[in-house]
Each structure stands twice: as C-alpha cells, then as structure tokens.
C-alpha cells in the first residue's frame, strides 16, 4: 500500500516539476531590439544635432522622393549604440528592426553619430546596381564628411541624401 501511495505521489508531482519553469529576467542583449525607439519617421534626430526647420526640410525632401521614385530613405542620428560594441552592428540591427515593419522598412538607412564620429549607410541588395558600396563611400567622403568636419551635420546629410537620390533616379 505504501508503495502504491508513493508511486501515485511521484506521478502526480512529476509533471508539475518537469513542466514548471523558472521566470527568466529580461535582459537587453545585442540581439534584443527593446532599446530601439518605437516610432520612426524619415528623419529621426535622437542626438539633437539639427534644428526643427532642418529636420522638416529634409523630411519633406525624403517624403517627396519616396512618393515619386518609391525608394524610402531614413536618417537616424544617435549618441549611443549601447549595447552594441561596433557601429556597423548597431546600424545593421536597426535596419533589421525597421524592416520588420512594412511601414518603416527603408530602402536606404543612414545612421549618424556626431558624438561617436561615425556614419553607416545600409541599403537593400536590390539597388546595388544603381548604388554600389563604392558609390556610397564616395558620396559620404565627398559630400557628408567635409560638412560634418565644419560642424554642419544638416548640410552634410542634405548633400549626401541629394547625391544618393540622384544615383537612384538614374536608369
């Protein structure tokens, strides 16, 4: 009788032990997107390096370009890339995060950090025949960086975006 009672107890409590799980704490890791902003527009100046008029002008330019040519260009400024260690990793994960939402999915994502002195351009593979990596690098070094060195991030972004749009209009 004791054996049967013991076996019944083991059977009753075994599933609850096997099926119960400890509650895990939610950590922000390099693979987690919890730290990205929930809303994005054409120009997202999280680092506050442009004034309201500059943001509006660039946003209107990008919006009009998307309506006419169907290429969405998104600009993001950020002072920090934590928890990432490398700027390209941050930009790639941000691009993946934005691509998950069809309303936000950019054709080209430009990520800039004045504080970290970094710029990264992410683009979809389908436009590589119009805008190669070397084209992008040339545009950034020729148009954006000289203005960034003068402290005029808005003008640098405006010139770089204008050149990227010109490349995308061709063909």
Cα separations (Å) of 66 from 19, 123, 169? 51, 15, 11
**Residue 6 is encoded by which pair of tokens?**
């013991």
Confidence of residue 34 (pLDDT cuts 50, 70, 90): low
Q: What are 85-137's pLDDT values in tens digits?
A: 999 999 999 999 999 988 888 999 999 999 999 999 999 888 888 999 999 99
CB 135 within 8 A of CB 156: no
Cα separations (Å) of 2 from 5, 7, 12, 170? 5, 9, 15, 86
Domain 40-169 matching CATH 3.10.310.50: the answer reads: yes
Buried b (16+ CB within 10 A) or exposed e, 52-86: eebbeebbebbeebbeeeebbbbbbbbeebeebee
pLDDT at res. 126: 84
Of 91, 134, 86, whose CA–CA distance to 110 is shortest?
91
Q: What are 6-18's pLDDT values in tens digits?
A: 455 455 554 444 3
């Amino acid at each position: 009788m004791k054996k049967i009672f013991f076996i019944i107890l083991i059977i009753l409590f075994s599933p609850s032990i096997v099926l119960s799980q400890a509650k895990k704490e939610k950590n922000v890791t390099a693979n987690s997107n919890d730290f990205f902003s929930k809303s994005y527009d054409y120009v997202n100046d999280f680092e506050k390096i442009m004034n309201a008029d500059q943001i509006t002008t660039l946003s209107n330019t990008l919006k009009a370009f998307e309506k006419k040519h169907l290429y969405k260009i998104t600009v993001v400024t950020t002072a920090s890339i934590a928890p990432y260690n490398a700027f390209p990793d941050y930009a790639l994960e941000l691009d993946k995060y934005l691509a998950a939402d069809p309303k936000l999915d950019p054709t080209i994502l430009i990520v800039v950090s004045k504080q970290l002195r970094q710029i990264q351009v992410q683009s979809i593979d389908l436009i590589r025949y119009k805008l190669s990596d070397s084209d992008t690098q040339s545009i950034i070094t020729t148009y954006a960086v000289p203005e960034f060195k003068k402290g005029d991030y808005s003008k640098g972004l405006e010139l770089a975006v204008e050149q990227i749009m010109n490349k995308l209009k061709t063909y």
